[in-house]
Every structure is written in structure tokens, then in C-alpha cells.
């Protein structure tokens, strides 16, 4: 549940800081420091009131620990197009979603890719031959950060928390935020749902999960005969039972998971950081022995050198795939057997670890990038190393 009192406190602080930081308005209400570069994407300059709210939104977003929007960079490295841009001002109508790839519990690597479509996100499905087989709109998600399979033939996707002043939200009176409130009186504004579940044949369903929505902040795995959504919060990781809707803490100290490398699979949790690769049983919290894995770690202050990104467990939790490299335009995709630490696959890929995404179904591993300059998604057979491509790039659920 959202703590409205805490939310209101942080929003007040952000709004006050934003108001203090604003320059005095000109005679026409404009910002004297405004320029064509400060105009919105539509080319229209926002009035002073809207700018105040936009700056307030930025300050409040910091107070709310919001996440950066994933971007797709153009080939020339100058222009950038958001994976999903600012929320549309057009009204959103309810739609019945169609089935995405599935309905099995294991999604074949590279069979689902989330791509930009104007200011919306679309999940596209592909067959074994790499040809498109269908599309699923992820409306009302407008600033997509993460999407995962629910392992029941559907999908779960999230936005960052929306703050006052974002396009499409009501204008907020700072004085209304400042005035004392009676006990039990709700705040003047509360954020709309930012996590949705998309099930075949049903309207998008808001989930009551306070995800700190950023890249790779949600994962789904099986615990016995049920599926759980494991998600990132400021204190650590939580798990939501997708059948009962009950959310509980993961029984492992995951305080270092924020911004780190982690994944779930086969009822296990894997984390990679300064302590190396560690694995636990999600149900009991007990550590799972793993062999020595050659997955380098960046030190906290490192500006160069080798590191690991896009850590991804196989659906049965027995293998892990990851990207290994520096920040140059190529890196290695590796697949490692957890019990022995033995490498099952290592292939050099013309994709930087920065912005790379990985999907792994246990037999094939797919590598994509948020940046269009790296081209198509590449899929490798773990047993043979054979490569094939899918002519799309973006997030890999």
C-alpha cells in the first residue's frame, strides 16, 4: 500500500525546493532564461505555471527516488528518442488486451521484445524463424521501465511513480500542500497506479505493488505451484503472490540489491556485486552453493575495467547468463552452470554492456540493447553456439 502521509511529506519538500529554485517570471509570465532548447518536444513553450510544476515534479521525483527513463539513442549519437516519451495528453480508453507470446510458463529467448511505438510501448512477438507473430499494446503504461512475463501467459509492466506536474496530471496548489491537515484527511493528490498486469482477454489490471520502477526492477518465478513477482523497493526486495495478492519481504538481506545485478528463477534468487555471485532459496532464505564463476565486478568508484551486467537466471535456476565487458562497443555473453561454475557458452557480441538486455530460457540466450546503433537482437543456442537474429531491439521480458 502507498503511504500517503510519507508521500505527502516528500512531495511538500520537493515542491518547496522547486518553488525556491525558480527564477522570477518576466512581464509575460515567461522564464527569462528560457530558450528554444528549453521548449517541449511539441515545440511549444510551457507557461510559467506549467514550468513551476515541471520543476516541482523533478524535485519531487528526487524525493520519491524516481528512476531515469530508458532511452533509445539514434545512430548519430546526438538525437535521443525515449523508449516511451512523456505521457500523452490524449484520454486513454479501456481496451481488452490480446494474448502475447505464450501461454507457456517459459518464454523462448528473443520471442518477445518491447519496442517504441510513438509515445507508447508495444510488446512484439516473434516466431522461431524471427518473423513477427503479433503485437500487444502496453497502454496505459506511458514511461515504461520494466516488463516481465507473469509465467501464466500474461505480462507485468511498470512506470516510474508519477508526480504532480507531469503531463496529464492535475495542477497542484502548493498552498494546499502546505496547510495542516486533519487526522485521516487524504492528501490533495495521490499518484495513479504505476504497475499493471496484462492478462489475455482482460483489461489491464493495476497491481498493489510499490515497485521502485527502473530497468530490471521486477522478476517472476515459481514457488511450488504458485507464481510470485519479486520487485525492488528502497529497503530491498519484496515478493507478491500473484494468486493471493499478498506481499511479503524476501527472506534474504537484499539491501544491496538497489541498483545492483539480481534475478530470480526456479525458486532461487541470484545477486552479483562486490561479494561476487551469491544464490539463495527464495522460500527458505538459505544460501545455495555455487561454483567459482568468472564474472568480474566493477568497484564502486571504477571508471574503466571489466564488469558484469544483465544477470539472468534460467527458468529452472540452474544456470546464469550475463554480459561481461567494459564500456566499449563489444562484450561477451556468457552462460555459466551454477553448481560447477563451468562456462556453457561464451560468445563475443557487438553490443556494449551499457544498455544491454538479456533473455535466457535455458537452451537459448538472447542479447539486445536499448540503443538502436547496435542493431538487431541476437539469439545464441547454448549447446552449439549457433547465432540467429530478430530484426528488432529493446527490452527483453
Residue 286 lies in a domain: yes
Lookup: cell for 148? 516481465
Confidence (pTM): 0.71
Q: In CATH, what number is assigned to the domain containing residue 339?
A: 2.120.10.30
**Dihedral sign of CA atoms 116, 357, 305, 66 in order:** positive
Task: Output 256 or 135, whichever has higher pLDDT.
Answer: 135
Residue 204 lies in a domain: yes
Please report the pLDDT score of residue 67 as a whole number. Answer: 29
Residue 8 lies in a domain: no
- The residue length of the chain stands at 397
10 Å Cβ neighbour count for 120? 17
Lookup: cell for 75? 545512430
For 152, list phi and psi in degrees, rounded to 5: -130, 20
pLDDT of 384 above 50: yes
**pLDDT (tens digit, 9 = 90+) per residue, 245-286?**
999 999 998 876 666 689 999 999 999 988 889 999 999 999
Residue in 269, 207, 284, 194 with CA at minimum distance from that of residue 244: 207
10 Å Cβ neighbour count for 94? 8
In sequence order, the β-bridge partners of residue 263 are 270
Residue 57 lies in a domain: no
Lowest mean pLDDT among 310-314, 326-330, 384-388: 326-330
Please report the pLDDT score of residue 303 as a whole number. Answer: 63
Question: Where does residue 255 rank: exposed (0-12), middle (13-18), buried (19+ CB within 10 A)?
Answer: exposed
The mean per-residue pLDDT over the stretch 230-246 comes to: 90
Residue 113 belongs to what domain range? Answer: 81-88+96-159+194-390
The mean per-residue pLDDT over the stretch 153-177 comes to: 71
Residue 236 lies in a domain: yes
Give the three-class secondary structure for 165.
coil
CB contact at 8 A, 120 and 114: no
Q: Is the peptide bond before 273 cis (omega within 30 degrees of 0)?
A: no
Residue 58 lies in a domain: no
Residue 185 lies in a domain: no
**Most confident by average pLDDT, 156-160, 164-168, 305-309, 362-366:** 362-366
Q: How many domains does the chain have?
A: 1
Residue 51 lies in a domain: no
Amino acid at each position: 500500500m502507498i503511504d500517503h502521509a510519507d508521500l505527502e511529506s516528500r512531495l511538500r519538500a520537493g515542491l518547496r525546493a522547486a518553488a525556491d529554485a525558480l527564477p522570477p517570471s518576466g512581464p509575460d509570465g515567461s522564464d527569462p532564461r528560457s530558450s528554444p532548447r528549453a521548449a517541449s518536444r511539441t515545440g511549444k513553450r510551457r507557461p510559467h505555471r506549467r514550468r513551476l510544476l515541471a520543476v516541482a515534479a523533478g524535485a519531487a521525483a528526487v524525493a520519491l527516488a524516481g528512476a531515469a527513463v530508458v532511452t533509445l539513442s539514434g545512430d548519430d549519437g546526438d538525437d535521443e528518442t525515449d523508449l516511451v516519451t512523456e505521457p500523452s495528453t490524449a484520454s486513454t480508453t479501456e481496451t481488452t488486451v490480446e494474448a502475447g507470446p505464450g501461454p507457456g510458463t517459459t518464454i523462448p529467448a528473443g520471442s518477445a521484445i518491447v519496442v517504441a511505438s510513438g509515445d507508447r510501448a508495444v510488446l512484439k512477438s516473434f516466431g522461431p524463424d524471427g518473423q513477427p507473430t503479433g503485437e500487444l499494446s502496453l497502454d496505459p503504461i506511458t514511461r515504461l521501465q520494466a516488463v516481465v512475463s507473469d509465467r501464466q501467459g500474461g505480462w507485468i509492466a511498470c512506470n516510474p511513480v508519477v508526480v504532480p506536474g507531469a503531463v496529464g496530471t492535475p495542477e497542484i496548489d502548493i498552498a494546499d500542500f502546505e496547510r495542516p491537515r486533519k487526522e485521516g484527511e487524504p492528501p490533495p493528490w495521490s499518484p495513479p497506479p504505476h504497475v499493471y498486469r496484462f492478462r489475455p482477454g482482460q483489461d489491464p489490471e493495476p497491481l498493489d505493488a510499490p515497485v521502485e520502477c527502473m530497468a530490471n526492477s521486477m522478476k517472476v518465478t515459481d514457488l511450488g505451484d504458485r507464481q510470485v513477482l519479486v520487485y525492488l523497493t528502497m529497503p530491498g526486495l519484496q515478493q507478491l503472490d500473484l494468486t493471493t495478492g499478498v506481499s511479503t519481504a524476501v527472506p534474504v538481506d537484499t539491501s544491496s540489491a538497489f541498483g545492483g545485478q539480481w534475478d530470480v528463477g526456479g525458486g532461487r534468487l541470484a545477486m552479483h556485486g562486490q561479494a561476487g555471485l551469491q544464490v539463495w532459496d527464495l522460500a527458505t532464505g538459505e544460501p545455495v552453493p555455487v561454483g567459482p564463476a568468472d564474472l568480474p565486478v566493477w568497484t564502486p568508484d571504477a571508471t574503466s575495467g571489466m564488469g558484469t551486467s544483465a544477470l539472468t537466471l534460467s527458468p529452472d535456476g540452474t544456470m546464469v547468463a550475463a554480459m561481461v565487458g567494459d564500456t566499449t562497443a563489444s562484450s561477451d555473453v556468457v552462460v555459466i552452470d551454477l553448481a560447477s561454475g563451468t562456462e556453457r557458452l561464451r560468445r563475443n557480441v557487438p553490443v556494449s554492456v551499457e544498455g544491454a538486455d538479456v533473455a535466457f530460457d535455458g537452451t537459448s540466450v538472447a542479447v539486445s540493447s536499448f540503443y538502436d546503433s547496435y542493431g538487431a537482437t541476437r539469439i545464441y543456442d547454448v549447446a552449439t553456439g549457433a547465432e540467429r537474429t530478430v530484426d528488432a531491439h529493446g527490452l527483453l521480458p
